[in-house]
Amino acid sequence: MKYRLTLVKVLIAFLLFSINLFAQNKLNSSYVAAKINYLSGEDLPDDNILKYTYVKYTFTPTGEFGSSSAYNDKGLEYLYQVSGNRLMIKTLEGSVINTLRIMEWDNNKMVLISASATGALDDAMSLQYTFYNEKLVQRSMPLKADDIFSIKENDTVYKSGQKIYAPFKGSSFQRYLQLEIGKKKLNPKDVELISTFIINENGKPDSLRILQGISKKYDEEYRKAFNSAAGMWLPAYHNGKAVKVLMNISLKYLSIGVAMPYYFSSKSANDAYQLKDYTLALYHYDKSLEANPNDVSNLYRRGICKQMLGNMEGTCEDWKKIRQLGNNTANEFHQPPFGLERV
């Protein structure tokens, strides 16, 4: 009996050591959530926004961590540390801001437990996140006609999307542009710049087109910021081969006169949503989207409100727009994703 207990302790210690060793020494990957449910095994209710949220975690071997809700964004930079079967997320100053329990972790799959409302990591209402390596997810997704921008003889240019995209070495190319252009203090209001460009097989940007500019001065600074990031891209891959991909970027600026009504309408809508008053929430989401029609968070919450009120056609319209904006939220998660695990 004593021998068996000792053996069990050794096996547990080895498992914890293996998780710690793997996480500390081999992490250089992004993982995408395929399913989020309660630890009890129950599915999340339809009005829980996490049920439709795209979640991506990115780890580097030097200890940086990022969490985002967009395929082409690593999120704000934090630090991570693994101790036994605990994953701790820290600020850059070293303060722990979140702790998750590691259930499973290897190159292909990661299962993490997030605390319930009581702060427990082991009760029935704790959240279980099942992640898969982003590269595995990309390989598992079928190539669709909409993933291709152009074909000329043997030259194919793909469209940026979750399956095929060129990674930016920083946290986000959009955030990089905003910071660089923001240094010029141009202060545009109620305007939007829309541009496209191609990242070639060598990870070099070219063919920049400003489809909708803001002003001669702003557009000039945009081009400078764009060119300054020329060496910060990695090529996109399809079937193990580097390919050309069409990227797009939008920079939008709201004035106080537009931003404040939008902010208060969004807040009122979110408050009503939390109280499950979907009629009132829908009213305020309509108002907020009048001010900012491309707010993805408000679009998919409004879609859920319509769903809860029985308007599935309206839900599909809102979520179709989300997909057109290049966001996978509410797209992959309403059907079996990636061919890996059913939601």
274-299 pLDDT, tens per residue? 899 999 999 999 999 988 888 888 99
Query: Which value, in Å, is the radius of gyration of the alpha carbons in the chain?
Result: 22
- Does residue 272 contact residue 305 with C-beta atoms inside 8 Å? no
Predicted confidence at residue 342, as pLDDT, reads 31
When pLDDT is cut at 50, 70 and 90, the band that residue 228 belongs to is: very high
- Stretch 302-307: mean pLDDT, rounded? 92
Predicted confidence at residue 56, as pLDDT, reads 95
Predicted confidence at residue 6, as pLDDT, reads 52
Predicted confidence at residue 46, as pLDDT, reads 79
Q: What is the CATH number of domain 2-138?
A: 2.40.128.280
DSSP, res 127: E
* Other CB atoms within 10 Å distance of the CB of residue 130: 19
CA angle 149, 153, 158 (to 5 degrees): 20
Q: What CA–CA distance (Å, rounded) separates 92 from 148?
A: 39
Q: What CA–CA distance (Å, rounded) separates 47 from 38?
A: 14
* Other CB atoms within 10 Å distance of the CB of residue 198: 20
Please give the structure tokens belonging to residue 200.
């070639």
H/E stretch holding 316 reads helix 312-324
Q: What CA–CA distance (Å, rounded) separates 272 from 109?
A: 36
Residues forming beta bridges with residue 43, ordered by sequence position: 37
Instruction: Say which residue, 126 or 319, is predicted with more confidence.
Output: 126
When pLDDT is cut at 50, 70 and 90, the band that residue 244 belongs to is: very high
**Percent of the chain with pLDDT strictly greater than 70:** 87
Q: What is the fold of 256-334?
A: 1.25.40
Residues for the chain: how many in total? Answer: 343
Q: Convert the pLDDT of each residue in 65-76 to its tens digit.
A: 999 988 999 999
When pLDDT is cut at 50, 70 and 90, the band that residue 1 belongs to is: low
Q: Convert the pLDDT of each residue in 94-150 to its tens digit.
A: 999 999 999 999 999 999 999 998 999 999 999 999 999 999 999 999 999 989 999
Q: Is the pLDDT of residue 181 over 50?
A: yes
Q: What CA–CA distance (Å, rounded) separates 140 from 163?
A: 9
Predicted confidence at residue 338, as pLDDT, reads 37
Closest CA to 266 of 234, 292, 240, 231: 292
To the nearest whole number, what is the mean pLDDT of the chain?
86
Please give the structure tokens belonging to residue 271.
């408050």
- Does residue 208 contact residue 195 with C-beta atoms inside 8 Å? yes
Cα pseudo-dihedral 266, 271, 272, 275, rounded to 10: 160
Ranges 50-64, 93-107, 244-258, most confident: 93-107
| Angle in degrees, 0-180, between the axes of helices 296-308 and 278-291, rounded to the nearest 10 | 150
Q: Is the pLDDT of residue 341 over 80?
A: no
Spell out the domain ranges in the chain: 2-138, 151-182+191-248, 256-334
Predicted confidence at residue 322, as pLDDT, reads 82
Predicted confidence at residue 329, as pLDDT, reads 52
